[in-house]
A and B are shown apart, each in its own frame.
Chain A
Amino acid sequence: MRTRPGILKPLACLFVLTFCFCQCGNESSLGLSYGSKFMRLTSDYAEIVVDSAKVPGYWAGQVGDGERFFLYSLDRSYKKGDVLTVDGAFGTATAAVFDDATRVYQSEQETNIFVVWKAAMRGSENNGQPPSRKVRGK
């Protein structure tokens, strides 16, 4: 059978490129990193919504540069002002968020999310307690 490379080659290239660059809906665009961070909680227990799923945790700022993260944790025992060392994975996702302080709701907000595997409390800003070595896992 005769082929017509003049048409088929570009079509084949287009086909491959389409497959390479197509972002399927089920695939997560979450690029994850792993590590330990030193965080100060800036909210009490809160929640955000990622892909229609409720994600509980705390808002926190990284000690030092102040970068804002949402710490995913099921542990409700911490409170605003606590300083934690957290181990886990972190990345960016689009989420719906609500700020309790300003009562501002925002959907499709790029949010830094830290999935807490292990957290150690280092003292509380509120009550001025000395640093604690108590370890609270998820």
Chain B
Amino acid sequence: MSRAQRIRFTAVLFGFLFPLVNCQPFPARKGPVDKFDINVLTNAQSIRTRLGGVLAGYLAEYELNLQKHRVFISLEILKYRKGERLTVRGRFVDDSVRISYGDQMNAEVPVFHILRAAPAPPATPEKKLGP
């Protein structure tokens, strides 16, 4: 292949790669879909993320393997309230926020993008022993 042909081939290759890059967003680094029960810890708030965007949502807590984890859940409609218990389905995205809650100041918590949220059935109360 001559030099001119190599240049033309490269130009054509770039020519059809350009619309692909231009039209399709770069693959967002998102995790698989997860589902768990959470407790909403705060009222709705807007907060700047590590990557510079602003997200609206709630700080929440869930339990996994007997450990409590905090996440910032992002939603587009903010109708839930502090203290609600939800069953959520969504994805962890490659971003985090710094947030203060309780005894933790400016703790970095991951962002969880909600696909579906619904009120969780109330936890079964523990049986009391004795009268």
> CB within 8 Å of B: which residues of A?
1-2, 4, 7-8, 11-12, 14-15, 18-19, 22-25, 47-49, 52, 96-98, 100, 102-108
The reply to whether the CB of B64 lies closer than 8 angstroms to some CB of chain A is: no
In this complex, what residue of A is CB-closest to B74? A107
Q: List 10 A-B contacts (CB under 8 A).
A: A1-B4, A7-B9, A11-B16, A24-B22, A24-B23, A48-B77, A96-B75, A102-B118, A105-B116, A107-B114
Complex Cα distance A60/B20, Å? Answer: 40
For B22, the chain A residues whose CB sits under 8 A away are: 24
The reply to whether the CB of B83 lies closer than 8 angstroms to some CB of chain A is: no
The reply to whether the CB of B115 lies closer than 8 angstroms to some CB of chain A is: yes
> CB within 8 Å of A: which residues of B?
4-5, 9, 12-13, 15-16, 19-20, 22-25, 75-77, 79-80, 113-119
For B114, the chain A residues whose CB sits under 8 A away are: 105, 107
Please state if B79 and A98 are interface contacts (CB–CB under 8 Å).
Answer: yes
The count of A-to-B residue pairs whose CB atoms sit within 8 angstroms is 66
Please state if B79 and A103 are interface contacts (CB–CB under 8 Å).
Answer: yes
Please state if B23 and A11 are interface contacts (CB–CB under 8 Å).
Answer: no
The 8 closest A-B pairs by CB, nearest first: A96-B76, A49-B76, A15-B16, A22-B23, A98-B77, A105-B117, A104-B118, A24-B23
Complex Cα distance A2/B117, Å? Answer: 62
